[in-house]
Every structure is written in structure tokens, then in C-alpha cells.
Structure 1
Amino acid sequence: MSALEAAQAALAAEHAAVYGYGVVGGRIGTQRRAEATAAYEAHRARRDALRRTVRDLGGTPVAAAAAYELPFPVADAPGAVRLAAVLEDRVAGVYSDLVRAGRGPLRSEAAAALREAAVRAVRWRGSDVTFPGLAERV
């Protein structure tokens, strides 16, 4: 996978995460709303940075879809927490590809994004995985 392809995949995942956190925010309840808002803002910032990265690599940034299919129905706060963990796992997976494909500052940024997503996933899930970004590929 080229750096451009990996960056496009990461951008697509960030679009989906921003959408997904809209759902999370609507169902999360007041106790964890600030955490959901912070994650939403972090994904928006990463999305915007990836748009620039894709352009710098010579590509046209992939557009967000009008809507995304959720992996399961989210009707309440526990479902929102579960969705947030899934979103972070998926984002970590695409950033692991970008770490492999990227060089220099791009690789460093991808590693930072992978780490951030893994930490957020642990916070949402309450437990960790051995290899963040790779666990969902097994």
C-alpha cells in the first residue's frame, strides 16, 4: 500500500469516526459527554490534517459519505460506549497501515494518531488489546 492509499484510507476512517461520534454524542448521557466531545474534536482535527496530507501527496481527498452504516444499533449509553470503542479500534487499524506506508513526519504523525486511538479505545472499553490497530484484523 502506498502512502497516498494509506492516507486516503485513514481519511475515510476519520470521516466515519466523526459521523459515528455524532451518534455516540446523542446517546452517551451526561457522565461521559465531555469525553465524547473531546474524541469528536480530535477526529475532526485529524480528518482536516489528513485532507492536507492527501493533497501534499498529490491526491484528491476522499469525500465523506452522506451517512454510514453502524456496526450495530445504538439505542442507549452502553451502546454508545461500545460504538466509541469500535470506532477507535477501526481508526487504529488504518493508522497502523499508514505507519507502515509513511516515512518521516507522516510516519510519526500516524504513530501518534494510532497511539491516541488506542488510548481512547482503552478508556471506552475499560481494557486494552495487545497490539492496537492489529487486533481487529485477526
Structure 2
Amino acid sequence: MSEPSDEARAAAQRALAAEHAAVYGYGVVGARAGGLADQARAGYDAHRARRDALSRVVSDLGDRPQPAAAAYALPFEVPDEAAAVRLATELEDRIAGSYADLVRAAEGELRRDAAAALREAAVRAARWRGGSVAFPGLAERTPDTAPAGRQEGAGRED
């Protein structure tokens, strides 16, 4: 097995940072999820597990895992269930992007694990959004930036 590249190490740290932020964000989602509390709890638990596994991976790569921040800025106010759904979708889209970067940078088992994490985030995002996107993890292909006429069925309200 070849030595992981500096790019793979940096991408793993960025994915870990994204997982820390997702765990924090899902705490907010869960507080406002209303009837979707079970779905919020499942997302929270999934991100805690991924965060812990990724922390071990970063250590195995020879780096010191980045610790979680005390708090994270939310991209918008989350006063109700509808906003909680939007936040959960945003968190999953961001996670998918960080794992897409790790897939591009890594090789072997790390790449396979990152692809699995990207797939899991895309599935969770689709559940929250009520529909999928063609290229999860690629910002240039998300519903907000898709070419005109290609946004039908996205189920996203902004």
C-alpha cells in the first residue's frame, strides 16, 4: 500500500471538520424536527459514528485529528420544522461535498470508505429533500446551481 498523499490527509481533515459541524447541526435539527425527530436522531447518530471513525483514520494517516469547535455558525435561522429540514439537507449536501473531495484525493480502502460515506449522505439528503440530485457532492450540479429547466423534482424550496 502506498503512503497517503498530503492531499488525502488534508481532505480527511476537512471531512472530519465537516462531520464535527454536522454533529453540531443535527443537534439543532433535532430540537426543531417535530414529527421528524426519529429521522434527525438517525442522522445525528450516523454522523457521530462517521466522525469517530474518521478521527481514527486521520490518526492512522499520521495526523492529529482536528477537534470540534465549541459552536458552529448556522447558514440561516432555524425557528421551525421546515427550517430544520432545510438545515439537515444543507448539512448532508456539505458532507457529500467533503467526501467527494476525499474520494478524489484518496486511494484504496480510504477511497472506498469515502465513497460509502458520500453515498450515505446523498441518501439522507434525498430523504430530507424529498428527491435526489444527479451528482451529489458536486456543488456545480446541485439544484440551486443546475442549468435552467433542470430543477424539476428537486423538491427544494428556497
TM-score bucket (shorter structure): over 0.9
Matched, 1:23 2:28: yes
Instruction: Give the deviation of 1:136 after TM superposition.
Output: 5.6
Higher relative contact order (CA 8 A, sep 6+): 1
* Paired position in structure 1 for 2:57: 53
**Residues 66 and 72 of structure 1, relative CA distance in 2, 3 Å threshold:** same
Task: Tell me the amino acid that sits aligned with residue 62 of structure 2.
Answer: G
Matched, 1:7 2:12: yes
Deviations 1:40-86 (A, max 9, x none): 00000000001100001110001111100000000000000000000
* Paired position in structure 2 for 1:105: 109
* Paired position in structure 1 for 2:98: 94
What percentage of residue pairs aligned between the two structures are identical? 69
**Residues 41 and 136 of structure 1, relative CA distance in 2, 3 Å threshold:** farther
- Structure with greater helix share of residues: 1
Which sections of structure 1, spanning at least 5 residues, go unmatched? none
Task: Choose 1 or 2 for highest CA Rg.
Answer: 2
* Paired position in structure 2 for 1:82: 86
117-126 or 127-136, which moves further after superposition?
127-136
TM-score between the two structures when normalised by the length of structure 2: 0.84
TM-score between the two structures when normalised by the length of structure 1: 0.96
CA RMSD of aligned residues (A): 1.2
Which sections of structure 2, spanning at least 5 residues, go unmatched? 1-5, 146-158
Q: Which runs of 4+ in 1 moved over 3 A?
A: none
Task: Tell me the amino acid that sits aligned with residue 32 of structure 2.
Answer: R
Contact 1:99 1:111 in 2 (8 A): yes
Aligned pair count reads 137
CA distance in 2, matches of 1:26, 1:136: 31
CA distance in 1, matches of 2:85, 2:20: 19
Following superposition of structure 1 onto structure 2, how do residues 97-136 of structure 1 map, counting pairs within 5 Å? 97-135=101-139
2:110 aligned counterpart, secondary structure: helix
